[in-house]
C-alpha cells in the first residue's frame, strides 16, 4: 500500500515535472516555534517566511528554480530547537532561518556550525549570537543598538523621569542580555535604577515583583521577558496600581500580547527594528501583501523572517549564476552560500542591510512604537517620532 502510494506520487511528480518543466526546488529550512508559549512570537515568523517564499517564487525563485521552505517546529525549549536543526540538516536544506529565541540559538546553532550549515537568526538579538561560529549570522539587530531607543523615547515623552524599576526573566538568555543594555542605558541617561526584580518566563504570578516596584515609587518600569510572562506582568502592574510609563523589551513586541494584557497593554513603549512605513520598494510590496491577508500592518518578527528568506534567495541567485545549483555538492554549496551571504548587501523590508565578517547585521533604521488599545482585544502599534 505504502509502496503503491509512493509510486503513484513519484509518477505524479514526474509527469508534473515533465509537463511544467519545474526543477526540483531548492530547500531552505525554517526552524521556529510553531507551538508552546514561544509561538506567540514564532507564528509571526512563519507568516513572514511564507510571504517571502511566495514572493520570490513568483519572481522565478533562484533564476528559474523554485525555493521550498521546509518547516520544523522548535517548540518552546532547547531540546526542541536542537531536534529541529538536526532534522533539517539531515534532510539536506541549504541553510536554516531560525530559531525564534536566543536561548534556543545558543543550544542549536552549534549543531549547524559543526555541520557547516549557514544559519540566519531571524530574531535572535542577545549579545554573542554571530560569535557562536562562522556559519552563524543574523538579520535581527542586536539588543545593544535597538533597546536604548525605547529609553530615549520615554524621556522624550516625560523628561522628568528619574526613578526606574527594571524587571527581567532570569531563565532567558535574551532577557538577561537585554536588561544589561537597559540598565546601562538608564545609567547613561542619568536615571536611578532603584530596583531590579527577577522572574521566570514560566511565572504567572508577579505579586512579589509588583509589590517591590510599587514600594520603590518609580516613574518608569522596564521589562525584559517574553510575550506571555511579559504581558501578565504588565497587567498585574496596572491592576495593582502602577500608573507610570512602561517599556517592554523585544519579547513583548507582538500584538499577541493583546490577549494577555488587554486594555492594560495600552501605552507600552517598544523599540522596533522594522517599520511598515520604511520606504523601500520591497517593503511596500510586503506591507501590501500582508495587509491584504491579515488586515493590519506587518510586525517586526514577520519582516525579519521575510528578510532571512530573502537573503538566502539573493545569495543563492548569485551562486547559481556562476555555477548552476543542481551541479553542486551539498557541503560545498552550503560553504559557498555562507560566504556569499556575508559579502552581499540586500534591499529588504528592514532597509538596506549587510553583514560584518562575523555575521553581525549592519542595519541603519530603528524606531519606537507605542501600543494603543481600542478595546480589550484590539489595538495597534503607533510609531512615534
Ligand atoms: N529577541 C529575542 C531573542 O533573541 C526574542 C525573539 C524576543 C523572539 O530571544
Residue pair 341/118 in contact (Cβ under 8 Å)? The answer is yes
Select the CATH number that applies to the domain covering 145-272 from these four: 3.40.50.2300, 1.10.3720.10, 3.30.300.30, 3.30.310.10.
Answer: 3.40.50.2300
Q: How far apart are CA 137 and CA 255, in angstroms?
A: 27
CA of residue 24 to ligand 1 center, whole Å: 34
CA of residue 261 to ligand 1 center, whole Å: 19
Is the distance from the beta carbon of residue 102 to the nearest atom of ligand 1 less than 6 Å? yes
Is the distance from the beta carbon of residue 224 to the nearest atom of ligand 1 less than 6 Å? no
Mutate to test the pocket of ligand 1, among 174, 225, 253, 366 (most ligand atoms within 8 A of CB): 174
Q: How far apart are CA 297 and CA 274, in angstroms?
A: 11
pLDDT of 10 higher than 60:
no
Other CB atoms within 10 A of residue 288 CB: 11
Task: Give the burial string for 179-189 (b: 16+ CB within 10 Å, else e).
Answer: bbbbbebbeee
What number does the ligand 1 atom closest to the CA of 129 have?
Answer: 4
- pLDDT tens, residue by residue, 89-119: 999 999 999 999 999 999 999 999 999 999 9
CA of residue 44 to ligand 1 center, whole Å: 12
Give DSSP secondary structure letters for 142-188.
-HHHHTHHHHHHHHHH-TT--EEEEEEETT-HHHHHHHHHHHHHHHH
- All CATH 3.40.50.2300 domain ranges of the chain, comma separated, are 2-141+279-362, 145-272
Architecture of domain 2-141+279-362: 3-Layer(aba) Sandwich (3.40)
pLDDT of 174 higher than 70:
yes
- pLDDT tens, residue by residue, 307-357: 999 999 999 999 999 999 999 999 999 999 999 999 999 999 999 999 999
Is the distance from the beta carbon of residue 251 to the nearest atom of ligand 1 less than 6 Å? yes
CA of residue 209 to ligand 1 center, whole Å: 22
- pLDDT tens, residue by residue, 243-257: 999 999 999 999 999
Amino acid at each position: 500500500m505504502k509502496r503503491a502510494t509512493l509510486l503513484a506520487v513519484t509518477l505524479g511528480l514526474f509527469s508534473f515535472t515533465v509537463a511544467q518543466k519545474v526543477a526540483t526546488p531548492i530547500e531552505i529550512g525554517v526552524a521556529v516555534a510553531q507551538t508552546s508559549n514561544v509561538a506567540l512570537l514564532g507564528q509571526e515568523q512563519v507568516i513572514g517566511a511564507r510571504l517571502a517564499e511566495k514572493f520570490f517564487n513568483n519572481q522565478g525563485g533562484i533564476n528559474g528554480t523554485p525555493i521550498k521552505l521546509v518547516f520544523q517546529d522548535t517548540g518552546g525549549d532547547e531540546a526542541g530547537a536542537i531536534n529541529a536543526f538536526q532534522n533539517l540538516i539531515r534532510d539536506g536544506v541549504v541553510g536554516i532561518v531560525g530559531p525564534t529565541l536566543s536561548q534556543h540559538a545558543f543550544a542549536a546553532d552549534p549543531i549547524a556550525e559543526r555541520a557547516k550549515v549557514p544559519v540566519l537568526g531571524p530574531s535572535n538579538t542577545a549579545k554573542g549570537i554571530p560569535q557562536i561560529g562562522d556559519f552563524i549570522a543574523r538579520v535581527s539587530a542586536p539588543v545593544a543598538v535597538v533597546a536604548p531607543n525605547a529609553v530615549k523615547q520615554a524621556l522624550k515623552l516625560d523628561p522628568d523621569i528619574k526613578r526606574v524599576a527594571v524587571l527581567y526573566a532570569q531563565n532567558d538568555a535574551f532577557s538577561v542580555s537585554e536588561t544589561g543594555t537597559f540598565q546601562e542605558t538608564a545609567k547613561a541617561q542619568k536615571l536611578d535604577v532603584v530596583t531590579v526584580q527577577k522572574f521566570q518566563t514560566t511565572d504567572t504570578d508577579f505579586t512579589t515583583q509588583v509589590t517591590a516596584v510599587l514600594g520603590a515609587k518609580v516613574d518608569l518600569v522596564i521589562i525584559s521577558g517574553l510575550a506571555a510572562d511579559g504581558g501578565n506582568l504588565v497587567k498585574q502592574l496596572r491592576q495593582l496600581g502602577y500608573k507610570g510609563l512602561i517599556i517592554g523589551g523585544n519579547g513583548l513586541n507582538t500584538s499577541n500580547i493583546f490577549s494577555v494584557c488587554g486594555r492594560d497593554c495600552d501605552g507600552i513603549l517598544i523599540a522596533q527594528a522594522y517599520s511598515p512605513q520604511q520606504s523601500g520598494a520591497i517593503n511596500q510590496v510586503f506591507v501590501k501583501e500582508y495587509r491584504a491577508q491579515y488586515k493590519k500592518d506587518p510586525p517586526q518578527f514577520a519582516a525579519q523572517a521575510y528578510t532571512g528568506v530573502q537573503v538566502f534567495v539573493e545569495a543563492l541567485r548569485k551562486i547559481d549564476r556562476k555555477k548552476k545549483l543542481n551541479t553542486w555538492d551539498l557541503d560545498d554549496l552550503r560553504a559557498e552560500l555562507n560566504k556569499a551571504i556575508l559579502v552581499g548587501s540586500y534591499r529588504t523590508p528592514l532597509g538596506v542591510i549587510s553583514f560584518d565578517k562575523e555575521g553581525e547585521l549592519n542595519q541603519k533604521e530603528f524606531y519606537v512604537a507605542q501600543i494603543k488599545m481600542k478595546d480589550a482585544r484590539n489595538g495597534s502599534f503607533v510609531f512615534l517620532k
